[in-house]
Amino acid sequence: KNEVEQSPQNLTAQEGEFITINCSYSVGISALHWLQQHPGGGIVSLFMLSSGKKKHGRLIATINIQEKHSSLHITASHPRDSAVYICAVGKGSNYQLIWGAGTKLIIKP
Amino acid sequence: EAQVTQNPRYLITVTGKKLTVTCSQNMNHEYMSWYRQDPGLGLRQIYYSMNVEVTDKGDVPEGYKVSRKEKRNFPLILESPSPNQTSLYFCASTGTQSLKLFFGSGTQLSVL
């Protein structure tokens, strides 16, 4: 069993829908990262959180340390949100990360 | 502008011909790392560096070398590339202050 599990692997939704991507982990962590990778390759950091909730525009990330679970939400989804979303956890030192396999999101107009 | 500059963006080479992928950051970050990304496998760490002259193996170091002679640069060297090193490579950096990750734009390598 992988130490970081993301679900779903693939998600297709209509424009405007509320999107939730989940990340569960089995190890003690120092922080959790959410990243976005658009087709064409570039990876961008969205959030880094160790507790609670963070919001940036239409994106919201939450983490429950006791349940070892994090969610990434997208409100009012748009086709430009189509990307792969990756969860990574810092184990011990935040420099050493364990990576999830990613969730491929497609938003249809 | 804060950035990680990675070159080249695309590279096609033949088996056994030594190559270097360069990575440079302008944020005075201590930590730099190389990853490879293959379909269905996600990101896997090749090597990382905690600071100048301090490097260590990641999860898949075989066939790769790195050096950290200056804080800003962290080149990835393939002494004798093989077809199983065909992959998408990313350099990343982070600092002790914010711990936010910054990635280069990636290098798509094909070894024929």
Q: What is the DSSP string of A10-61?
A: EEEEETT--EEEEEEE-S--SEEEEEEE-TTS-EEEEEEESSEEEEETTEEE
Whole-angstrom Cα Rg for chain B: 13
- Tell me whether residues A95 and B88 touch, CB distance under 8 A: no
Predicted local confidence at residue A1, as pLDDT: 63
Q: Is B103 touching A (CB cutoff 8 A)?
A: yes
* Parallel/antiparallel/unpaired status of strands A83-90 and A31-37: antiparallel
Residue A94 above 90 pLDDT? no
- For the residues A16-40, what does the mean pLDDT come to? 92
Contacts of B48 in chain A (CB under 8 A): 95-96
* Best mean pLDDT range from A33-42, A91-100, B64-73: B64-73
- Tell me whether residues B50 and A95 touch, CB distance under 8 A: yes
Report yes or no: A11 and A104 within 8 Å, Cβ to Cβ.
yes
Separation between Cα atoms, residue B28 and residue B46, nearest integer Å: 21
- Tell me whether residues A43 and B88 touch, CB distance under 8 A: no
Predicted local confidence at residue B95, as pLDDT: 84
Predicted local confidence at residue A92, as pLDDT: 64
* Maximum CA extent, chain B: 42
State percent of chain B over pLDDT 70.
100
State percent of chain A over pLDDT 70.
95
- For the residues A67-92, what does the mean pLDDT come to? 93
Predicted local confidence at residue A46, as pLDDT: 95
**Poorest-confidence range of A16-20, A26-30, A46-50, A59-63?**
A26-30
**Helix or strand run (H / E) with residue B49:** strand B42-51
Chain A interface with B: residues with Cβ < 8 Å: 31, 33, 35, 41-45, 48, 86, 88, 90, 94-97, 99-102
Of A35, A42, A48, the CB nearest to B99: A48
Residue B79 above 60 pLDDT? yes
Residue A93 above 70 pLDDT? no
